[in-house]
Chains A and B, each alone.
Chain A
């Protein structure tokens, strides 16, 4: 199914497709006593209507921070330094607090990383899904809200008794489904799923991922799926953006990326997918990453790159389109 979907994606020309989200030069820093940590270093990407964009990279590469930046949820000491986040043409970074509040959830929702702690322990499921709805739909009757919540629970495959339960009465997978139900409650045009399955065991992970995919297909919503599980990404997303130390180093349709990964980091990431057929040593351990407060001149990946060249240390490679929709930031292909 993924393959046919991807073919459809690849056959369309980018100009004809509507961009729901456009992130331009987004830059997010964390303040520390010894200088700013550059968590997101001026990244650019977009998400088409109905598309799922995967965002991968190792822990700490800035993928969660980047998406938190989209919803302006970056927690202090982090702050958005520069950039534009155009959601349906409106720059979210320029809105005032109350305008932003109205956009949140209605236009872009979040399925959080740790579903375990993402639900308020002292509120019932119905209240937690409900307050998101009533805040944005103040005119909705109590009965209508209740029906909507029950409908959402069915949609994500939860029994209706969950309506009246507290979070601690649910299993991890159920909590994650509640979060999914919450995220789609207002039919947003954009869902940001921040490693929605990372806290779950493998079996539940697949089931929840399937739920997410089904729901997404039914609603035709656009989605950013953050993750570090390349295998899961390969099955769920249309295009993948690979992040390294706050920079996007490669964006490509999922098939193109797996068939012909171009950036050395992407190649290492794909090579490090564990196989059940053979044991192979991890390739990515060599070399240290740089101090994020003080990125080196030139390519961001130079210290760990197996194919590093002399001018990689001087000139930063720009993100260039080498094949249709396949962008890479690397000097190897010049």
Chain B
């Protein structure tokens, strides 16, 4: 491929694994520095449900042994790393005997679907609005209306979500206030099921798009204004090119380059889901899962979700690094 050398690709992929290893180590250490012990937390939760529990001491000791929590730290660390290599993310401490793999596998499609759609819509709409706002030849009336589309950017995510639920779910009853699909419709690739999933996803997606679109728009607007004074734009005008061509090929094409980098970075966080939005709409994605993990001091679950997040972010950055020479011809990894 243009601009890539084999040496660079190998080094870059090495970098990718190094990042993941470092990230995995950090997420191993940090939860263990937190106050609170997951096993006692679990016992107290069980006690809250069942009243008194006999032999709590023995249960705690047995579980600590079962999870290997009494082994020397290094042994625990090596076992953890070994498991990661096989993508075995251990049992979830809070919803034993479920395994973290299964929990993540169950929630990731929801998050991927919701956030991929929302991010793409927000990226496209935001950049289009920003590009038109920053362009000199945009019709005046349009230029006057566009900023209104960004009003909701200043409202926090969760406030916006509550507002949407209040208006569209309780007020107008167009959408349901939460969940990912209507009850009673069997899961599967049927028309009914797909429709209910889309219907349930719309409100949270709308919240994310409304709240994040403005960031893209403002970034793009800034880039458009910066590039408006460029000599190549004046020359393009002098050439008598059509406005559409100047807009797309000369203006937007150059202004969007930093936005693409930002998109790659946000791709990583798609996997993590949007904790607040998912929590608010009780959407069963990874963000909600991470929330549950934190609330229950579930080490292994937090580790698992964050590990997936690290892998996804590193992968998105790796991908953009390898694809960037195609987007910007000035970037090349070839030595000259």
Contacts and interface: CB of A to CB of B under 8 A. Distances in A.
B241 A132 contact: yes
A332 interface: no
A113 interface: yes
Contacts of A104: 237-240
Interface residues of B, number: 23
Query: Looking at B136, B237, B240, which has the most chain A CB atoms within 10 Å of its CB?
Result: B240
B335 interface: no
Given A76-B136, A122-B253, A112 B239 contact: no
Interface size class of A (residues with CB under 8 A): 20 to 34
B71 interface: no
A264 B235 CA distance: 36
Could you tell me the dominant secondary structure of chain B's interface residues? helix
B323 to A, nearest CB: 14
Query: Looking at A103, A104, A110, A121, which has the most chain B CB atoms within 10 Å of its CB?
Result: A121
A158 to B, nearest CB: 18
B254 A120 contact: yes
24 contacts: A73-B234, A100-B240, A104-B238, A105-B238, A112-B234, A112-B238, A113-B231, A114-B231, A118-B231, A118-B232, A118-B234, A119-B235, A121-B232, A121-B254, A121-B329, A121-B330, A122-B328, A122-B329, A123-B249, A124-B329, A132-B239, A132-B241, A135-B239, A135-B241
B240 A118 contact: no
Interface string A52-94: 0000000000000000000101011000000000000000000
Given A121-B329, A132-B240, A168-B329, 14 more contacts: A73-B237, A101-B240, A102-B240, A104-B238, A106-B240, A109-B238, A112-B235, A113-B231, A118-B235, A120-B250, A121-B232, A122-B328, A136-B240, A166-B329
A323 B329 CA distance: 56
Contacts of A106: 240
Contacts of B328: 121-122
Query: Looking at B229, B239, B329, which has the most chain A CB atoms within 10 Å of its CB?
Result: B239
B202 to A, nearest CB: 36
B103 interface: no
